[in-house]
A and B are shown apart, each in its own frame.
Chain A
Amino acid sequence: MKTDRLLGATAIAVAAMMLVFGYALQAPFAYEPVGPRAFPLIAAGMIALCGVILVLRPGEPSSESAGPIGALAALCGCLVGYALLFQPLGFVIATTIFMVPIAMIFGAKWWQGAVTGVVLAVSSYLLFDRVLEVVLPVGPFGGIV
């Protein structure tokens, strides 16, 4: 299977989506010749054209090997979890919990991961929230943590 074909097909699907959701875009009172619809459709056309070329004339797939699929999936899982729980759990807790496995995916022993997680969580909270005044979520335990 040539990966370029897959890429091309996906591009065509994206362009089709843009067409379906973009075709109805029209201004209620048009005072200019080109409304809000034209440009998205031009972009969609460009994407579709590239997609068709990729499907018809795919290049050779890259020979580079991907990382171990398990590690990739684990990293993606941790990132999604971190994104979802960042606000509900609060910055310090979410960071501590999720940075340990991420460090371990990249070769840390569990205690090295734990140290990284705690140090990173506390120090960046102090730096960003207290010094730089970027408000970070505090989570259910409020001011205690």
Chain B
Amino acid sequence: MDSFNYLLHGFGVALAPTNLLLAALGAVVGTMVGVLPGLGPINAVAMLVPVVFALGLPPEGSLILMAAIYIGSEYGGRISAILLNVPGEASAVMTALEGYPLARQGKAGIALSLSAWTSFVGSAIATLGIVLAAPVLAKWALAFGPVEYVALMVFAFACLTGLLTDQPVKAMLAIGLGLAISTIGIDANSGVYRYTFGSPNLVDGVQFATVVIGLFAISELLIMLDAKHGGAAVRIEQFGRSLFNRQEMRFTNMATLRGSIIGFFVGILPGAGGTVASALAYTTEKRVVEKSDPEGSRFGEGDVRGLASVEAANNSASNSNFIPMLTLGIPSSGTTAIMLGVLTLYNLTPGPALFRSQPDLVWGLIASLFIGNFILLAINIPLVGVFARMLSVPAWVLVPFIVVVSAIGVYSGKSTTFDLVLMVGLGVGGYLLRRLGVPMAPLILGLVLGKILEQSLRRALSLSAGDVAILWSSPISITLWIMAAAVLIIPLLLPRFAKWRHKTALQVD
């Protein structure tokens, strides 16, 4: 019952007035962020990095705020998907498939309330899973030395390239670029200046906030200009009955449960977040329904079961994402990667040791996930109309707002023009890379893990006096190497999986 006591302690932290306020604020902002097109959780969290420092928040406070925004945006993403057929973010793509047809049939109210409910169930199940699984994993992860960490990070990178896209080479390229950026600045071990080109601005490396804001927030603006070029969707005005009834709930219970469980396990894998989870849940649910109830299947024309399972899955995954992040220090999505980066800015080393050295932080965060989900359910069912109104915020207000907040955020770090110009340069570069199909999340993961990977590698090789064989000297590391190889090779051998991945990747784009 150790976890239970720790959890109670965590609730003590999360219920402290400041933290409660931060969770509530994060839930509201997160939902808004999810609704607004072009402002996903990753952009919001990126722009927040400098703000939390400006506010002087302690580490647990900033993590609670960021986590609430992250899970809140998953709730919000469904609103624009259902009402506009425009997913606010990638993981809501599947939501639009069933949600938008429902809305066109005059059932927008039911679709919105039911999906808020299944989002809640998915999140709650995943959070419960975190409480049960995380401490066990953390204890196990304490057996990890530098050797195992090297293998683990290679495994994480392999998952990213193998699972995420249909173009593994481009994901690998993104990781390489992230690792490269992480080497800029003074080398901690030897004091050698690397890739600073004589510029004092680069001596302590590139500011983390500058990179994430440039690559995500600024490049997104250019992407928005592309999207604006495309056609506009028909907006739903008729909401119909605003709350689902008991019959509809019973009808979707199993779908919700299946979605939650799929989401939970997908979320644990490094590199696979809500997007993969919702795609997998949708295809599974479709197959189950077509087998058990071929007459009643309305998939593609607005089946509530499809909607329920997808929303349960992506919310479940975004919560269980915290397991690898907290226990192993391996983020499994771009957003958790940024949060991990923030931890390192507080001089905290992510990984299993956190459970021992920072119980307030870890358990406070877990407890605040519970609380955040209740707040989200509470604000999402009655206030859905208010959030839906945010869809009419014009781009010409939104874009200048994003530019100004980004610039202030980057400037607040070191107060140099250099960082602002670098932000714009990275934004344009990020835009070009995204246009060419290079994903940004692996780049951030490479950047965040680069320093840790290099340190682990050098420490491991110091132990063996330079003998590389030490990298596969322990059972854990060998297992991880084999798993990494499997993740990379199996998709090549299974044409069906490749086809599925290709399909989901297309839909995600």
Find B461's partner among A14, A34, A47, A124 (CB 8 Å cutoff): A34
Q: Could you tell me the distance between the alpha carbons of A110 and B177 in the complex, rounded to whole angstroms?
A: 40
Closest chain A residue, CB of each to CB of B417: A87
- In the complex, the answer to whether A103 meets B397 with C-beta atoms within 8 Å is yes
CA A91 to CA B417, docked complex, whole Å = 12
The answer to the question of A136 belonging to the interface, with a C-beta cut-off of 8 Å to chain B, is yes
Judge whether A142 is part of the interface by a CB distance below 8 angstroms.
no
Q: Is A66 an interface residue (CB 8 A)?
A: yes
Report yes or no: A83 in contact with B421, Cβ–Cβ below 8 A.
yes
Contact residues of B: prevailing secondary structure: helix
Inter-chain contact B436/A7, CB cutoff 8 Å = yes
Whether the pair A134, B408 counts as a contact (CB closer than 8 A) is: yes
A40-B180, A87-B417 known; A75 and B229 CB under 8 Å?
A: no
From B177, B227, B230, B436, contact of A4 by CB (8 A):
B436
| A36 contacts B189, C-beta separation under 8 Å | yes
**Chain A contacts with B in 106-145, Cβ cutoff 8 A:** 106-108, 112-113, 116-117, 120-121, 124, 128, 132-137
Instruction: Write the chain A residue with the least CB distance to B409.
Output: A134
Indicate if B476 sits at the interface (CB-CB under 8 A).
Answer: no
Selected contact of B175 from candidates A46, A59, A95, A99, CB within 8 Å: A46
Contacts of A11 in B (CB 8 A): 173
Decide: B424 and A79 in contact? CB cutoff 8 A: yes
In Å, the complex CA distance between A103 and B226 comes to 15
Chain B residues with Cβ below 8 Å from A49 are: 172
Please, which residues of chain B bring their CB within 8 A of the CB of A82?
403, 407, 420, 424
Instruction: Choose from B180, B222, B401, B420 the contact partner of A86 (Cβ within 8 Å).
Output: B420
Q: How far is the CA of A99 from the CA of B227 in the complex (A)?
A: 20
Do residues A84 and B396 form an inter-chain contact, with CB atoms below 8 A? Answer: no
CB–CB B466/A33 < 8 A? yes
> Which residues on the B side are within 8 Å of A132 (C-beta)?
51, 54-55
Give the distance in Å from the alpha carbon of A4 to the alpha carbon of B436 in the complex. 7
Count of residues in A whose CB is under 8 Å from the partner chain = 76
State the CA gap A91–B410 with chains docked (Å): 13
How many residues of B are in contact with the other chain, CB < 8 A? 71
Please, what's the 1-or-0 string for A44-88, where 1 marks a CB less than 8 Å from any CB in chain B? 101101110110000100101111100110011001101110110
B340 at the binding interface (Cβ < 8 Å) = no
Cross-interface CB contact of B183 among A39, A65, A84, cutoff 8 Å: A39
A34: B residues at CB distance < 8 A: 457-458, 461-462, 466
How many inter-chain residue pairs (CB < 8 Å) link A and B?
A: 211
A1-15 CB mask vs B (1 if < 8 Å, else 0) is 001101100010010
Residue of A nearest to B463 (CB): A33
Compute how far the CA of A16 lies from the CA of B412 in the bound complex, rounded to whole angstroms.
34
Of the candidates B173, B177, B394, the one having the most CB atoms from chain A within 10 angstroms of its own CB is B173
Beyond A7-B436, A27-B191, A72-B225, 18 additional contacts (C-beta under 8 Å) are: A32-B458, A34-B462, A39-B179, A40-B194, A47-B180, A51-B173, A62-B435, A64-B226, A66-B226, A67-B222, A67-B228, A68-B225, A83-B407, A103-B397, A106-B398, A120-B401, A124-B405, A135-B415
List residues of B whose CB falls within 8 A of some A CB: 50-51, 54-55, 167, 169-170, 172-173, 175-177, 179-180, 183, 187, 189-192, 194-195, 197, 218, 221-222, 224-230, 394-401, 403-405, 407-408, 411-412, 415-417, 420-421, 423-424, 427-428, 435-438, 450, 453-454, 457-458, 461-462, 465-466, 509
What residues make up the interface of A, taking CB atoms closer than 8 Å to B? 3-4, 6-7, 11, 14, 18, 21-22, 25-30, 32-36, 38-40, 42-44, 46-47, 49-51, 53-54, 59, 62, 64-68, 71-72, 75-76, 79-80, 82-84, 86-87, 91, 95, 98-99, 102-108, 112-113, 116-117, 120-121, 124, 128, 132-137
The 10 closest A-B pairs by CB, nearest first: A33-B466, A27-B190, A108-B396, A83-B420, A46-B176, A50-B173, A67-B225, A43-B179, A36-B187, A47-B176
